[in-house]
Amino acid sequence: MGLKTERHPSSYKIGWIKKGAETRVENVCRVPLSIRRYYKDEVVCDVVDMDACHVLLGRPWQHDTNVTFRGRDNTYLFRWQGRKILLLPMKEKPTPKTSQVEGKSFLAVFGAQFMAELKGAEEIMVLVVKGSEMPIMQQVPEEFKELLTEFQDITPAELPNGLPPMQDI
């Protein structure tokens, strides 16, 4: 995000934010925060190394902004410059439907068409397949035949179609 940090006025240790040992909070960062055009503010955040990637607006922000949390609705309500602002939980995005195509299908998209599709998309996935230069082996190399013979009692004659069920160790 390119935000500048500054020294924390009174550094401290925190232990619940990341797996493993305690983390020392030594820096703060001023993060601009806006909700549409109605709410613009700056929040001073403690900077820590985390396993997740979030800006956590915790109790200090809720206190300073006089936020009301409605647990059943999972919403936050507060006033800002004479306006009521209600923060709603994010809606689940519907999973895109996949089309069933019988037989072989191939879709190629070239530069200009790809760039045009990219402009209006919220999410885009690309698969690039490159052919293999290695020849497919039909014969088992001599070096492996001896090993396969030696361990034939522990290797199955036929491999299953899927993976075995997960087991706890």
Tell me the pLDDT of the chain averaged across its residues: 75
Closest CA to 40 of 5, 69, 90, 83: 83
Beta strand segments in 36-117, E: 39-47, 68-70, 75-80, 83-87
CA dist 149 and 164 (Å) reads 24
pTM above 0.75, yes or no: no
pLDDT tens for residues 28-71?
888 888 877 778 888 888 887 766 555 556 677 788 888 888 88
Closest CA to 87 of 101, 112, 69, 72: 69
Domain limits, the chain: 5-87
Residue 82 region by backbone torsions, left for phi larger than 0, else alpha for psi between -120 and 50, else beta: left
Highest mean pLDDT among 12-26, 63-77, 112-126: 63-77
Task: Report residue 157's pLDDT band, with 50, 70 and 90 as the boundaries.
Answer: confident
